[in-house]
Structure 1
Amino acid sequence: MTIPPQPPQAPEHRARPAGWVSTGLSWRDGRAVLGAARGAQVHERAVAPGVEVGWLLGGPRRCVGAWLAGATERTPCPHHAVIDPGGGATQCPACQSVDRGLALARDQILDDGRTYLLYLAWFGEGLLKVGLTAEQRGDSRLLEQGALAYAFTARGALPAVRRAELTVAASGLARERYKSRIKTEQWWSHGDVPYRRTVLGDARARAHRLLDGHAVELLADRPMVDHVERYGLAGGAPEAYREIAGLADGAVLAGRLRAPVGRHLFLDQTDGSGPLLLDTRLLTGWTLSPVTGRGSEGLVLQERLRPPEPDTQEALF
């Protein structure tokens, strides 16, 4: 399969960018890595708490290519296409049209011969998600989504697991997706481990009743897995932080990393101004150059504060 041609673009859009282009953050074998590419070369760096980073961003922001069917590595965008500097998309339309992961999410792949797992993931009070992932990926998809806790629920071929997913979603027990902002707002307060396990256990039992008669293997004995401590959120998110809402050519992103939360990174600032929160999808497509001795600058920031606790005292009158 090849990436289809795009309409003709201006010469500067076709020029190959210099330096390393960020391909974002991913999880493999329980480990978070930041990736970057330069042509066919790929570089990955483990993300761990306490690591100091400093990057100068160079533009324009470019498409990072696509994962083609049967490929073991990402195929670079042959058009070197420029993408929206502030958008959530990290691929041009041509690469989106052939990306295997997007095709799967859009139900454009009916079956691929692999075994899939149905999962229930908990992102906070009232935020239960149902989804599927290839068994060979383990829990990488759950980690990338920032699931605070999850339980594998059923197993089978793609068509059967997809039908099971739709059945659970249609029942109202869980939804198929949540926006990133809704998830991050739950980081301040998420109960304790026994509570999360109880919620997931009850939900899985209900899902199994819904799936009675489906052509899937029901997984009643798989453990409830909790990621809150791994994400560094046992005490909740910072009381106050600034979320990065936009990046630009010439911006500097620097700081000391905290534990990654899904595809998000908290960076403590050396000037004591409080941590920044980066959705690494915004970083994807920018050319990165290492810098030292400089603070973060050129960023669009939004203040985030822990909401006040609800007033549960009964009114006197």
Structure 2
Amino acid sequence: MMAQVWKCAGLRWTTGGGPALVWEGGRTSPLTWGRRVAFAVAEGGVRTCAGARGHPCPLRAAVPGRSTGARCEECARLDRAHSVAADTIADDPRPYHVYLAWFGPGMVKVGITAVERGPARLLEQGAVCFTWLGAGPLMAARRTEELLRAALDVPDRIPYARKRAVRSALPGTAEERSAELAEAHARAVALAGWPESLERQPYRPVDHCAVFGLDGLPAAVGQVSELVPGGVVGGDLVAVAGPDLHLAAVGGGVVVLDTRLMTGWELGAAGDDAGAGRLTVPVRELRGPRVPADVQEGLF
């Protein structure tokens, strides 16, 4: 039995501070490239709901291991009822940015985020590069977002599977990576119909390739499907993009762990298996090279 366990609350990006795993109670574990990430899931443990809006789940309800939301049905409903992203809040007095973000070739999206948050939302999403388009009241930002979605034919969401698939094959320079952004920004500011209360902003691309550690990133050969009681995860951290840890496991293969799968589990120090860079949790093979033999498809 583990001497001490901590309940994971996910991964947090802070401007200038980099990524860190967050634990229930507020403790954080900063993540740096080359660091060994190693932990074990408590034997006999149950994954419990993360709660809503900063409040614990009153039922401590169990949630499925493969859920990236880590919330029970009721807490998910409460969280969405107070979500700007879900368009359920109209009276937020804070100013909002409208932005364009690029995740890879052919993957440009439009979105909004509170000005006070700076680029944190873009880091959380794994945006390789982005540019602000304008700033103003929430409803003006929302109307502009809808205008651009229709006029530029760009989405407001891109699946993480698509983002992960291209991270190891991105263009080599910041100028190449931001080329689609430059074109989209020029088309956006030329459109008529922008709300008068939204102040347009010039094209100033910000590149996160170095921040995420994507330069020279090997293609991932597998992706953790879920954590399970007694399972161990270990590997050397080679990149962090959005919620994803790219870990070099035994045999040299890189495996992706979506840290949203960690939320709600009690985790503790790992034994020798994880310390050697092994994974004994379910791993889904990705297209390309085979998953190294030391990365197991399931426990034992």
Equivalent residue, structure 2, for 1:204: 185
Runs of 4+ with deviation above 6 angstroms: none
Which of the numbers 263, 269, 293 marks the counterpart of 1:284?
263
Partners of 1:128 and 1:174 within 8 A in 2:
yes
Equivalent residue, structure 2, for 1:10: none
Shift of 1:133: 0.4
Q: Establish whether residue 55 from structure 1 lines up as the match of residue 35 from structure 2.
A: no
Q: Establish whether residue 189 from structure 1 lines up as the match of residue 169 from structure 2.
A: yes
Shift of 1:293: 2.0
Equivalent residue, structure 2, for 1:137: 117
Equivalent residue, structure 1, for 2:295: none
SS of the residue 2:116 aligns to: helix
Which of the numbers 70, 80, 83 marks the counterpart of 1:90?
70
Partners of 1:110 and 1:159 within 8 A in 2:
yes
Query: Which string of whole-angstrom CA distances, capped at 9 and with x for unpartnered residues, describes residues 147-177 of structure 1?
Result: 0110010100100000100111112442110
Equivalent residue, structure 1, for 2:208: 227
Partners of 1:264 and 1:278 within 8 A in 2:
yes
What is the distance in 2 between the residues matched to 1:211 and 1:184? 35
Shift of 1:101: 8.4
Query: Which string of whole-angstrom CA distances, capped at 9 and with x for unpartnered residues, describes residues 2-29 of structure 1?
Result: xxxxxxxxxxxxxxxx932111112112
Would the alpha carbon gap of residues 85 and 239 (structure 1) be closer, same or farther in structure 2, given more than 3 Å must change? closer
Equivalent residue, structure 1, for 2:128: 148
Shift of 1:198: 2.7
| Aligned residue runs from structure 1 range 1-317, under 5 A | 19-30=5-16, 31-37=18-24, 41-58=25-42, 59-67=45-53, 74-99=54-79, 103-191=83-171, 192-210=173-191, 212-215=193-196, 216-221=198-203, 223-235=204-216, 237-269=217-249, 271-295=250-274, 296-305=278-287
Letter of the structure 2 residue corresponding to residue 35 of structure 1: V
Letter of the structure 2 residue corresponding to residue 47 of structure 1: L
Q: CA RMSD in A?
A: 2.0
After superposing the two structures, state which structure 1 stretch, 226-235 or 175-184, moved more: 226-235
SS of the residue 2:273 aligns to: coil
Partners of 1:259 and 1:265 within 8 A in 2:
yes
Residue segments in structure 2 that go unaligned for 5+ positions in a row: 290-300
Partners of 2:144 and 2:194 within 8 A in 1:
no
TM-score (norm 2): 0.86
Letter of the structure 1 residue corresponding to residue 207 of structure 2: D
Letter of the structure 2 residue corresponding to residue 19 of structure 1: V
Count the aligned residue pairs.
Answer: 278
What is the distance in 2 between the residues matched to 1:240 and 1:42? 31
Partners of 1:265 and 1:277 within 8 A in 2:
yes
Residue segments in structure 1 that go unaligned for 5+ positions in a row: 1-17, 68-73, 308-317
What is the distance in 2 between the residues matched to 1:100 and 1:28? 23
TM-score (norm 1): 0.82
User: Which protein is bigger by CA-based radius of gyration?
Assistant: 1
Partners of 2:223 and 2:284 within 8 A in 1:
yes
After superposing the two structures, state which structure 1 stretch, 164-173 or 207-216, moved more: 207-216
SS of the residue 1:188 aligns to: helix
SS of the residue 1:32 aligns to: strand
Partners of 1:240 and 1:303 within 8 A in 2:
no
After superposing the two structures, state which structure 1 stretch, 99-108 or 248-257, moved more: 99-108
Would the alpha carbon gap of residues 43 and 209 (structure 1) be closer, same or farther in structure 2, given more than 3 Å must change? same
What is the distance in 1 between the residues matched to 2:15 and 2:219? 31
Would the alpha carbon gap of residues 150 and 305 (structure 1) be closer, same or farther in structure 2, given more than 3 Å must change? same
Would the alpha carbon gap of residues 113 and 211 (structure 1) be closer, same or farther in structure 2, given more than 3 Å must change? farther
Query: Which string of whole-angstrom CA distances, capped at 9 and with x for unpartnered residues, describes residues 8-63 of structure 1?
Result: xxxxxxxxxx93211111211232110111xxx22111111122222111321111
Partners of 2:212 and 2:239 within 8 A in 1:
yes
Partners of 2:80 and 2:86 within 8 A in 1:
no
